[in-house]
Chains A and B, each alone.
Chain A
Amino acid sequence: MLSARVASTAKDALLAALAVLLVSLTVGCTPSASPASSTPTPSVPPPAPAAAVPDIPRFSASLSERPALSAPAPVRLLIPELGIDVPVEAVGLDGQGRMALPADPAIAAWYRFGSAPASVAGSTVIAAHVDSLVYDIGPFAKLAGAAAGTRIEVTTADGAVYAFALASTEVVPKESVDWSAVFARDGSPRLTLVTCGGEFDYDARRYLSNVVVTASPIT
């Protein structure tokens, strides 16, 4: 039980921090949020009875009180240095298990089943076509040459702006891309931008590589 107690204490600190995060990031989401916005002091000991009772998180499981499942969606991606300023749409999968992208390369797509900028963990994935026969070359074509440190801003539906610094730009052959890593929902919060690039198969009408940009939050 000792390990459980230790784990739950650490968890409480995390939860309290998250509660504050919740309050700072959402506007009027829940009226009961305000008491928690005062100083989070998870170390306040509970009034202990004879023996210390482990502090285990509890909440109402009532369906009607279930909190919203998803964090605010990204709606705009801005990379001033590259002249990229595009709207972002929430997308899922196409009929073939691939991430579904808008046809227009000037509209980026956020994978709505994955992490969002406000998520406590994981990769927020935003992708766009690099080009199209209909729409020509898109803004994401500039990603292939982007340098480390480039500032990237993502605006979410609640108006919050999240800033990231480009950490790496890779051109990875499609068969070698580790999609489970790109779409990971654990690990430290990060932004992953994806488009196509490299050589083109003129018969199959597809690029042979993906350009994968990773960026870390600027705190």
Chain B
Amino acid sequence: MKKILVAALGAGALVAFAGAAPATAASADTAMLSVLHGVPDLTVDVYVNDELTLDDFAPGDLAGPLELPGGTYTVAITAADAADASSPAIGPIDLPLEAGVDYTAVAHLSEAGDPTATLFTNDTAQVAAGEGRLTVRHVAAAPAVDVLAGGTAVITALANPQEAKLDLAAGTVSAAVAATGTTDPVLGPADVEVAEGANTIVYAWGSLEGDNLDLAVQSVAVAGMHSAPDSIPAGSAGLVATNGPDSSAPVWGAVIGASLLAAAALIVGAARRRAAARAGR
């Protein structure tokens, strides 16, 4: 228990302090796999290639990321008290994991309410500076939904087990989920912070009929996913320049004269503005 707590805190610290810095990232040789448990009321064991990998995995929990060599892995999900993977509640399913790619495998309910599992590929393509990616995944026993941001539908007719994504200005989005074509939320509105340079993945999970719909969130950031500003314009007066005002002027007399005049005008203007600024303080 303590160990799990430490790990959870550590993960929290990573998110809290790393900004978008990844704890680990898929290298050219390995794939990254996270696992989300989105089946309500069912604690499970997860077997990977017949080896017990997640013991007593609770609904709403996210595990990983696991760094795995590229290849196909067989995942079976059993009741928590199963002796082995021979009679899974979900699966076995094959997960083809490609090296260099970030995945989340989700155990969840189908639209009809049956336990199933879906492998999602997390989009880690570079985003523009100042922007973050928001991915929404419908893994709930519920009909197709619209996703509302600030009351407006930004994603429409999203059905289980589909995803939709968009890049938007980083910051907090008030997100809600409503039956498609409606604006009356079945989930939310809830504030979702879309981190800059990262993929913020929101899952709608649970069951509409079971009255336990909920939102889960995962952040995925890998090296090279964010963009840097183009430049830092950090001076406009030339007051500490290592060159004089006329050193860059062409040699022709007329132009020199004009430049000097312009420079003089600027200097006078600057002095006035400075004086004005001082007087105004």
Question: Which of A35, A57, A105 is the one whose CB lies under 8 Å from B64?
Answer: A57
Tell me which of B203, B238, B259, B277 has the highest count of chain A C-beta atoms within 10 A of its own C-beta.
Answer: B238
Which residues on the B side are within 8 Å of A207 (C-beta)? 234-235, 238, 241
Which residue of chain B has the shortest Cβ distance to A122 in the bound complex?
B21
Instruction: Tell me the chain B residues, 217-246 only, with Cβ under 8 Å from chain A.
Output: 217-219, 223, 226, 228-243, 245
Which residues on the B side are within 8 Å of A59 (C-beta)? 7-8, 11-12, 61-62
Nearest CB of chain A from residue B169's CB, rounded to whole Å: 9
**Residues of B that sit less than 8 Å from A by CB:** 2-24, 36, 48-49, 51-55, 57, 60-64, 66-69, 128-130, 170, 190, 192-193, 195-197, 202-203, 214-219, 223, 226, 228-243, 245, 247-248, 259, 262-263, 266, 269-270, 273-274, 277
CA distance A210 to B232 in the complex (A): 8
Question: Which of A33, A49, A57 is the one whose CB lies under 8 Å from B7?
Answer: A57
Pair B197/A11 contact, Cβ less than 8 Å: no
Pair A22/B7 contact, Cβ less than 8 Å: no
* A121 interface contact, C-beta 8 A: yes
Tell me which of B10, B15, B69, B238 has the highest count of chain A C-beta atoms within 10 A of its own C-beta.
Answer: B10
Pair A121/B6 contact, Cβ less than 8 Å: no
Known contacts: A57-B10, A131-B236. The answer to whether A11 contacts B248 by CB under 8 A is: no
* A148 interface contact, C-beta 8 A: no
Which residues on the A side are within 8 Å of B238 (C-beta)? 131, 200, 202, 205, 207
CA distance A16 to B3 in the complex (A): 9
Known contacts: A46-B3, A97-B129, A116-B19. The answer to whether A61 contacts B195 by CB under 8 A is: no
Nearest CB of chain A from residue B52's CB, rounded to whole Å: 5
Question: Which of A22, A62, A141, A183 is the one whose CB lies under 8 Å from B9?
Answer: A22
Pair A58/B17 contact, Cβ less than 8 Å: no
CA distance A128 to B236 in the complex (A): 12
CA distance A119 to B23 in the complex (A): 11
CA distance A23 to B268 in the complex (A): 56
Nearest CB of chain B from residue A138's CB, rounded to whole Å: 8
Pair B6/A19 contact, Cβ less than 8 Å: yes
Known contacts: A130-B240, A185-B19. The answer to whether A57 contacts B235 by CB under 8 A is: no
Pair A69/B5 contact, Cβ less than 8 Å: no
